[in-house]
Structure 1
Amino acid sequence: MAHDIDDLMTLFDGVFAEPFRTRLVRGEDEPIYLPADETSPHHRIVFAHGFFASALHEVSHWCIAGAARRELEDYGYWYEPDGRDGLRQAEFERVEVAPQALESLFSEACGKPFQVSVDNLDGVAVDRHAFAAKVAARAARYRSETPPRRAAAFIATLSAFYGEGASREAAIARGRECLAEPVAL
């Protein structure tokens, strides 16, 4: 199945726009998360250049962010662009393991290849293999322990649409069902 960004936005919005007042939005240069404000009643996950992988990555951050963080622009986190020194790169990798692990599960559910992003081409040399191993280990943990509820709902939606060939409506219904399931304690 083709990986059309409009399908992805429709699937996300169909599951999350109402209960979480959050929309997935195609952006320009840099991705950003924007909480609802006077210009929009919805929170917006803005991904870069209409890229499918960027959308999956930005959704992964949203799936991890708690309610308080989802009220802050970019969840209140710092971002230091390409060119980080060793200390800042280590911090970047520490906070990126979980989102990239979810992104890998989203990619798997879509039948798309996944590659880790160290996002530091002009900075200190990076051990991409070591970082990839950490991401893979976290993804395996999510598989065995169940990912966060919103992530599980998105995976169910993507699996239904891309893996099983369900219609958009049926895939969205599957995601909504997953959101409605009681949490095991």
Structure 2
Amino acid sequence: MHHVDELIALFERTFYADYTTRLVRGEDEPIYLPADEQCGYHRIVFAHGFFASALHEIAHWLVAGAERRTREDYGYWYCPDGRSKEQQQAFEQVEVHPQAIEWALSLAAGFPFNVSADNLGGEQTCRFRFQQRVYDKLVRLIEQGFNARTERLLQALSQHYQQPYPLTPERVQWQGIQEQHDAL
């Protein structure tokens, strides 16, 4: 069973001392908030207490460099649901890396992963192409190595959820990948 409180505690044990950052259950939209006058620590706020949302927001934090972690939402633009095809393509371009990291975190936690195009009310792009790009990025990261923070969390998650470590490309399962790729 995957309880978000366990993930919050695991993140705290793994990162708080070195990065003064906490994973926080939010009510609505996720957001990253750097420390300020009102709060002495950085907050990764995830949506509605969902485990998948927490993994996704952690992935963004793991991708962000030190400078970006000083800015609200890492200084990225965000265009909400209802994006045009061009806006959606730009969104997917910046989401490939964090979603590949999220997939790795999901594997380490033994938790199901699904790519998120996050554009239910807008123009759709080919979900299979996007998933293929995320898959390809994940395999490259596994083969070439993750950054130190990501590796640290992958190891902690694997140990906590008793999953094999380190990750291998063979563990990445995407049923129908070849058939979908051939159809592209």
* Range into which the TM-score falls when normalised by the shorter chain: 0.7 to 0.9
| CA displacement 1:150-172 (0-9 Å, x = unmatched) | 1111110000000259xxxxxxx
Question: Structure 1 CA distance, aligned partners of 2:45 and 2:28?
Answer: 10
The answer for the alignment partner of 1:138 in structure 2 is 137
Identical aligned pairs, as a percentage? 52
| Structure 2 letter corresponding to 1:55 | A
Matched, 1:158 2:168: no
2:59–2:99 Cα contact (<8 Å) kept:
yes
- What is aligned with 1:93? 92
Judging changes above 3 Å, is the alpha-carbon distance between structure 1 residues 15 and 120 closer, same or farther for their aligned structure 2 residues? Answer: same
Alignment-derived partner of residue 182 in structure 2: none
Q: Give ranges in structure 1 of 5+ residues lacking alignment.
A: 166-185
Asked if the contact 2:60–2:98 (Cα under 8 Å) also holds between the matched residues in 1, the reply is yes
Distance 2:102 2:163 in 1: 19
Match of 2:75 in 1: 76
User: 1:27-81 CA deviation, whole Å, 9 max, x = no partner?
Assistant: 0100000000111111000000000000000000000101110000000001111
Q: Quick check: 2:109–2:163 contact (8 Å CA) kept in 1?
A: no
Aligned equivalents of 2:46, 2:163: Cα separation in 1? 26
**Matched residue type, 1:100:** Q
**Partner Cα distance (1:72, 1:39) in 2:** 15
In structure 1, the residue matched to 2:115 is 116
2:57 & 2:124 partners in 1: Cα distance? 25
Q: 2-side partners of 1:118 and 1:147: how far apart?
A: 23
Judged with a 3 Å threshold, the aligned counterparts in structure 2 of structure 1 residues 71 and 136 are, in CA distance, closer, same or farther, namely same
Q: Matches of 1:136 and 1:84 in 2, distance apart?
A: 23
Matches of 1:11 and 1:107, distance apart in 2: 14
What is the SS of the residue equivalent to 1:163? coil
Structure 1 equivalent of residue 51 of structure 2: 52
In structure 2, how many angstroms separate the alpha carbons of the residues matched to 1:140 and 1:159?
18
Query: Taking structure 1 as the reference length, what is the TM-score of the superposition?
Result: 0.87
- State how many pairs are aligned: 164
